[in-house]
Chains A and B, each alone.
Chain A
């Protein structure tokens, strides 16, 4: 924890020194460090048996995000305050997480409201089609609520994971049972699959029409993974794969912006100053970093449009190099590892699926955006959890971490009280 704060402070110190930048008021830095430290202590106090590593990783990632956002925007007209705004969002996220920890220790009660949550999620996503919603860069993902604007999909997906976890835990046995087969593939009973498919389709459809490709991909893949985890049936994965191929093909044909994305992924050189500009600038910056990076402040990551949100990883790779970028990926992997471990240790199915779903969402989101900016897969605009600039994303991820901590607390307490004795969960099955 202290190490994570030190790294952040060092990063800021380097930046201020190097760029001769006016220091952001130190008092804000103190607020940030103080808040996260208090949050850490609070969580240790209220959830003494919860996972010890998650919060330090979150601190490290948000701190790194602050450093990068500050570095990328402090001298950009109209955006100098972005790092401060992000810090405020981190405070709000911490607050939300603390409240969660304080009042939702019996978190499994939320599974009783899973249908309500699912409907709320769909409405949240749909809210961008109301007059309050508006578009940024062609994607209609924003809702203007007077003083704050937010991206409802960031919260809707957590609600959906809760729904899927609760529903699948309840129905997983019947869904795993084979009722009929078609062309040798065993199909699940439509009856039980119905609600899942309905929520799934509703949220997906809405997202596709909002042109939010990144979230669509997440909304598609996370329930699929949860379904697989719950039932162990590869049939679902196969079915999902077929649906995915089909769906991708249809969206490719239907939507021009999808065609553009794929085209600029396959051949960005065709239009290097137009559609391929962003991804090429990203690649140039990543390559510019080399093994050790250019050093904080010495790169040209500001040439990438949207660098402080979706492309923040390119800036990290450019200025911290292969070593730094790999270290950051390792931090994300460590979070994924702890999340998976929490799921493995969780006692009941719903908790297991909840922890797993949240972890899978976190890991997939990282893979999708980092894969996108490194041109490993077509680019779909989503944020890098905790690091990218974005209030909804930060608060959403804090809530996600809070839920993981709650799940881990329960398993940890049982273990500590000696109620259960279990083998190493990582041992062979």
Chain B
């Protein structure tokens, strides 16, 4: 009888071995596939059952995103809320279990999430080892909360309500404001996403970074930089007859004016297309303009910037294949030139900062929940866009734009202001209204680009808007 007992015992052993094999199959072999199965809600559940870190504005106090605890039958869950809503939505982004995540919420997810990434402090390590509650780290942005809010209000109150503002500190590259309108309230994203995604005015698109527009005359700053490098001096005179005939293309001035004999400085101040086209065709050439644009960041997708940026471009063809008409149009920012407020604010910043284009930064630091600084990137130069002497010449020329151009709207009491207008033909409705500016011009604290979609003339749309923001920031400290 014992032999039979032994035999059946071996059967049981085989059974237990079979169970272990089954466990290995589920827990090792098909673990990944099951975790990602759409019927499996554990990953989502895990992400909502622990608090994410805060997202704070540049003052380190204004809360832009926080996790709020709510008790449920299966334990506490954390809802992500955004106290300040629309003005910050394009930067902060949203965190939805249904529609994914955008903005800082996804770019800094490993910081904010308590479950992703490696433990960074001893407390964190102990918490994880013991499975204790693990709030995520806090992310402090560079945004000036007052300026950001004001910028959003201004742009949404503009003539079309569509546009973008980007303001930065030219010396550090810290972004002080990056607003886009129309926007959305990320707190309600789960309910509103389908409507927002289909809305004709595209509120989910960040117009500051993701859309591309013809820049029009603000691009003349880049052409002027290339011209100065090519040996043109600010006092050099050129003759404007009002039109410039090229094979297959005729250049006209804005509103059909002609200015006669003018200096290069005045040509920039009056934004004379004919003279910029002549300088581009006869002196500078397409390659130098393209190279200067690249120096300023055109063609750069800014992959290391936390938010997605659509790279600006001069033309789909290499310069040697351009016609003279293309070259002429490119000189004053029409043709195929495409950019956005983010890139043009960096251009203004580089001129203001003696030609050094600083690394654009929107995350100032990452702190553990108990305040220990985990990551604190220091300002760094991304690129020397142009030599210091050329930059200061261009700076003075841009100050003359405000003075000789007679743009009283742009002036700030007791302060030198530099800038450049852009009224870019969009091919559809009124032209886009552009203004890039920085102040104080002799010691720049802020550089800014304002763009209003179909906002019309620069001096009636973007320029006064920018001036109000600059004044608020520089005089009142917002």
- Residues in A lying within 8 Å of B, measured CB to CB: 14, 17-18, 20, 75-77, 225, 228-230, 232, 269, 272, 280, 283-291, 295-298, 300, 302-303, 317, 321-322, 325-326, 329-330, 332-333, 336-337, 340, 343-344, 349, 352, 356, 360, 363-364, 367, 370-371, 374-376, 425-426, 429
For B4, the chain A residues whose CB sits under 8 A away are 228-229, 232
Q: How far is the CB of A344 from chain B (nearest CB, A)?
A: 5
- List B residues 416-447 near A (Cβ within 8 Å): none
Partner of A363, one of B12, B22, B39: B12
Partner of A326, one of B8, B20, B45, B131: B20
Query: Is residue B125 within 8 Å, beta carbon to beta carbon, of the partner chain?
Result: no
The docked-state distance in angstroms from the alpha carbon of A296 to that of B131 is 8
Decide if B2 touches A329 in the complex (CB within 8 Å): no
For B3, the chain A residues whose CB sits under 8 A away are 232, 429
- Which of B24-32, B240-248, B360-368 participates in binding chain A? B24-32
Chain B residue with minimal CB distance to A20? Answer: B133
Q: How far is the CB of A427 from chain B (nearest CB, A)?
A: 10
Decide if B28 touches A290 in the complex (CB within 8 Å): yes
Decide if B16 touches A425 in the complex (CB within 8 Å): no
Decide if B12 touches A349 in the complex (CB within 8 Å): no
Q: How far is the CB of B254 from chain A (nearest CB, A)?
A: 64
Query: Is residue B157 within 8 Å, beta carbon to beta carbon, of the partner chain?
Result: no
For B5, the chain A residues whose CB sits under 8 A away are 229, 340, 343-344, 352, 356
With A77-B73, A329-B19, A356-B5 known to touch, is A287 a contact of B12 (CB < 8 Å)?
no
Decide if B132 touches A300 in the complex (CB within 8 Å): no
With a 10 A CB-CB cut-off, give which of B9, B24, B75 has the most chain A CB atoms. B9
Contacts beyond the supplied A287-B26, A322-B27: 16 A-B pairs with Cβ under 8 Å: A14-B130, A20-B133, A76-B73, A77-B73, A232-B4, A286-B26, A287-B34, A322-B23, A332-B16, A333-B16, A343-B5, A344-B6, A363-B12, A367-B12, A367-B19, A374-B22
For B239, the chain A residues whose CB sits under 8 A away are none
Partner of B6, one of A75, A285, A360, A426: A426
Chain A-chain B contacts (Cβ-Cβ < 8 Å), number: 126
Decide if B8 touches A360 in the complex (CB within 8 Å): yes
Residue total for B at the interface (Cβ-Cβ under 8 A) = 38
With A322-B23, A371-B22 known to touch, is A425 a contact of B28 (CB < 8 Å)?
no
Decide if B16 touches A329 in the complex (CB within 8 Å): yes
- Residues in B lying within 8 Å of A, measured CB to CB: 1-6, 8-9, 12-13, 15-16, 18-20, 22-24, 26-28, 30-31, 34-35, 37, 39-40, 42, 45-46, 73-75, 130-133
For B22, the chain A residues whose CB sits under 8 A away are 371, 374-376
Q: How far is the CB of B17 from chain A (nearest CB, A)?
A: 9
Decide if B39 touches A272 in the complex (CB within 8 Å): yes
Decide if B2 touches A284 in the complex (CB within 8 Å): no
For A272, the chain B residues whose CB sits under 8 A away are 39
Chain B residue with minimal CB distance to A360? Answer: B8
The docked-state distance in angstroms from the alpha carbon of A232 to that of B8 is 11
Decide if B15 touches A367 in the complex (CB within 8 Å): yes
The docked-state distance in angstroms from the alpha carbon of A367 to that of B11 is 11
The docked-state distance in angstroms from the alpha carbon of A14 to that of B6 is 40
Partner of A429, one of B2, B15, B40: B2
Chain A residue with minimal CB distance to B27? Answer: A322
With A367-B12, A371-B19 known to touch, is A232 a contact of B73 (CB < 8 Å)?
no
Decide if B2 touches A344 in the complex (CB within 8 Å): yes
The docked-state distance in angstroms from the alpha carbon of A207 to that of B30 is 36
The docked-state distance in angstroms from the alpha carbon of A342 to that of B15 is 20
Decide if B23 touches A374 in the complex (CB within 8 Å): yes
Q: Which 3 A-B pairs have the closest CB atoms?
A: A287-B34, A295-B131, A429-B3
Q: How far is the CB of A328 from chain B (nearest CB, A)?
A: 10
With A228-B4, A232-B1, A329-B19 known to touch, is A337 a contact of B26 (CB < 8 Å)?
no
Decide if B26 touches A336 in the complex (CB within 8 Å): no
Q: How far is the CB of B130 from chain A (nearest CB, A)?
A: 6
For B28, the chain A residues whose CB sits under 8 A away are 290-291, 322
Chain B residue with minimal CB distance to A330? Answer: B16
For A77, the chain B residues whose CB sits under 8 A away are 73
The docked-state distance in angstroms from the alpha carbon of A53 to that of B31 is 35
The docked-state distance in angstroms from the alpha carbon of A20 to that of B35 is 27
List 18 contacting pairs A-B, 8 Å CB cutoff, sorted by A. Answer: A17-B130, A20-B133, A75-B75, A228-B4, A230-B1, A285-B42, A286-B26, A290-B28, A291-B28, A317-B26, A322-B24, A329-B20, A333-B16, A336-B16, A340-B12, A349-B1, A360-B12, A429-B6
Decide if A288 touches B35 in the complex (CB within 8 Å): yes
For A322, the chain B residues whose CB sits under 8 A away are 23-24, 27-28
For B23, the chain A residues whose CB sits under 8 A away are 286, 317, 322, 325-326, 374
Decide if B9 touches A340 in the complex (CB within 8 Å): yes
The docked-state distance in angstroms from the alpha carbon of A269 to that of B9 is 35
Chain B residue with minimal CB distance to A429? Answer: B3
For B15, the chain A residues whose CB sits under 8 A away are 363, 367, 371
The docked-state distance in angstroms from the alpha carbon of A113 to that of B133 is 59
Decide if A376 touches B16 in the complex (CB within 8 Å): no
